[in-house]
Amino acid sequence: MKKISPADKIYRAAKSLFYESGYYGTTTRDITAKSSTNLGLIKYYFDSKKILAYKMINEIFDELLDSINKHIKADDDPLFYAMTYTHVFMSMLFNDEKVESFVVEAFSDEIMEEIEDAFYRSYQYDLNLKILETHSFSLKFNTHQTIQLNLFSFHNAIKSIGRMRQRGRMDITNEQFRLYIFKLILFGLGIDLDDEQKRMEQSYLLSEKIMSENERLNNPSKIFLEP
C-alpha cells in the first residue's frame, strides 16, 4: 500500500472538513486533529487554511475543465465555451447545498487575492481576451480593466447572492440565480444575452450532457470526500 504523505493527509482532511463545516466553520486545529498532523506541517506545506481552500477551488475548476474539454475547444467558439463552463459551474453548485456553501465562503476577499493572481496566468484570461476581440464593454476601459472588473463582479455576485440565499434573506430560485449571473458577466463583456439565446440554449444542453457523464460533477461531494 502506498504511503500517504503528510501533505496529502492534510489536504484530504481539509477537503472533508470544508465539505461538512464550510470554510469558516473549519479551523486549522480541526484539520490537524483529523489528519493526525500538526500546525507546523500545515504551515510548511500550505502556509495557511486559505491556501488549502484555494487548492480545493482549483480542484473543482480542474474537474469542470477536464469534462468540458472532452467536448469542445475554447478556440473554436470562445463565447460558447465560456457559456458552457458557466452553466456547468452553476449546475454543480445547485446539486449540493454544502458545495455551494463552501464556494460562497471561499470566494472571500482573502482567497480572491490568490484566485486573481492565478487567473491572470490562466486559460480563462486568454478566453476573455478572445471574446473581447469581437466585443467591447466600453471604449473607456482597456481590455485588462474590462476582464478585471468582470472577474470581481462574477465572484462578488456568487458570494453575495449565495450568502443572502443561505441566510433566507433573498427568495431567488436556482434558475433566477443562473440567469442573473449570465446577464451580469455577458453585460461586462459588452454582450446582450437576448442576442445570444441560441448559444445560451445550446450551451445549456451541452452542459447537461457533461453533467450526466461526470459523476463527480453531478454529485460534487465526491470531489471533496474521495481521494
Write out pLDDT tens, residues 150-184.
Answer: 999 999 999 999 999 999 999 999 999 999 999 99
Is residue 33 scored above 60 in pLDDT? Answer: yes
Is residue 199 scored above 70 in pLDDT? Answer: yes
Is residue 24 scored above 80 in pLDDT? Answer: yes
Query: Count of domains in the chain?
Result: 1
Q: How far apart are CA 174 and CA 183, in angstroms?
A: 14
CA trace torsion 179, 182, 184, 186 (10° rounding)? -140
Percent of the chain clearing pLDDT 70 (strictly above): 99
b/e per residue 119-128 (b: at least 16 CB within 10 A):
beeeebeebb
Residue 87 lies in a domain: yes
Residue 5 lies in a domain: no
Residue 123 lies in a domain: yes
Domain that holds residue 155: 53-225
Average of per-residue pLDDT across 39-50: 95
Task: Tell me the per-residue pLDDT of 201-219, one tens digit each, with 9 for 90 and over.
Answer: 999 999 999 999 999 999 9
Task: State residue 196's pLDDT score.
Answer: 95
Residue 15 lies in a domain: no
b/e per residue 1-28 (b: at least 16 CB within 10 A):
eeeeeeeebbbbbbbbbbbbebbeebeb
Task: State residue 1's pLDDT score.
Answer: 57
| Cα R_g (the chain), whole angstroms | 18
Helix (H, G, I), strand (E, B) or coil at 48: coil
> pTM value?
0.93
Task: State residue 187's pLDDT score.
Answer: 95
Is residue 193 scored above 80 in pLDDT? Answer: yes
Instruction: Tell me which of 197 and 110 has the higher pLDDT.
Output: 197
Is residue 200 scored above 80 in pLDDT? Answer: yes
Residue 104 vs residues 4, 56, 126, 136, 204: alpha-carbon distances, Å: 30, 13, 25, 29, 22
Residue 27 lies in a domain: no
Residue 82 lies in a domain: yes
Give the confidence band of 37 by pLDDT, cuts at 50, 70, 90. Answer: very high
Residue 118 lies in a domain: yes
Task: Tell me the per-residue pLDDT of 104-163, one tens digit each, with 9 for 90 and over.
Answer: 999 987 888 888 888 898 888 999 999 999 998 888 999 999 999 999 999 999 999 999
What is the separation of C-alpha 54 from the centre of its chain, rounded to a whole number of angstroms? 10
Residue 2 lies in a domain: no
Give the confidence band of 17 by pLDDT, cuts at 50, 70, 90. Answer: very high
